[in-house]
Amino acid sequence: MMASSRSSSWVRVLSLLLFVALAHTANGADHLSAEYYVKTCPNAERIVSSVMANRVGGGRMAPAVLRLFFHDCFVNGCDASVLLDGPESEKDAEPNMSLTGFTVIDEIKAALERDCPATVSCADVLALASRDAVALLGGPTWNVPLGRKDSRFAADKEFTTQHLPSPNDNLGGLIKMFGDLGLDARDMTALSGAHTVGMSNCEHYRERVYGTSDTKYNIDPSFAEARRQMCPPQGSFGDAGKAPFDVQTPRKFDNAYYRDLIAHRGLLNSDQALYSGSGVDSLVVRYGADGDAFGRDFAKAMVKMGNIPPPMGMPTEVRLHCSKAN
Report which of 5, 7, 10, 21 is spatially closest to residue 316, judged by C-alpha positions: 21
Report which secondary-structure segment, H or E, holds 199: strand 199-200
Q: Within 13 Å, how many C-alpha atoms sit on residue 124's CB side?
A: 28
Report which of 1, 52, 73, 19 is spatially closest to residue 306, judged by C-alpha positions: 73
Which residue(s) pair with 25 in the sheet? 315
5-21 exposure pattern, b = at least 16 Cβ within 10 A, e = fewer: eeeeeeeeeeeeeeeee
Q: Please give the torsion angle defined by the CA atoms of residues 154, 159, 163 and 164, in that order, rounded to the nearest 10 degrees.
A: 70
Q: Which of 24, 31, 71, 264 is catalytic?
A: 71
Residue 253 and residue 134 in contact, taking contact as beta carbons nearer than 8 Å: yes
* Contacting residues for 68 by C-beta, under 8 A, at least 6 apart: 82, 83, 99, 101, 102, 105, 126, 129, 130
Q: Please give the torsion angle defined by the CA atoms of residues 183, 188, 124 and 74, in that order, rounded to the nearest 10 degrees.
A: 80
SS3 69: helix
SS3 86: coil
- Check if 71 is active-site: yes
Report which of 157, 245, 259, 263 is spatially closest to residue 201, judged by C-alpha positions: 245
> What whole-number distance in Å separates Cα of residue 294 and Cα of residue 283?
9
Residue 209 and residue 222 in contact, taking contact as beta carbons nearer than 8 Å: no
How far is C-alpha 211 from the chain's CA centre?
A: 29
Residues labelled as active-site residues? 71
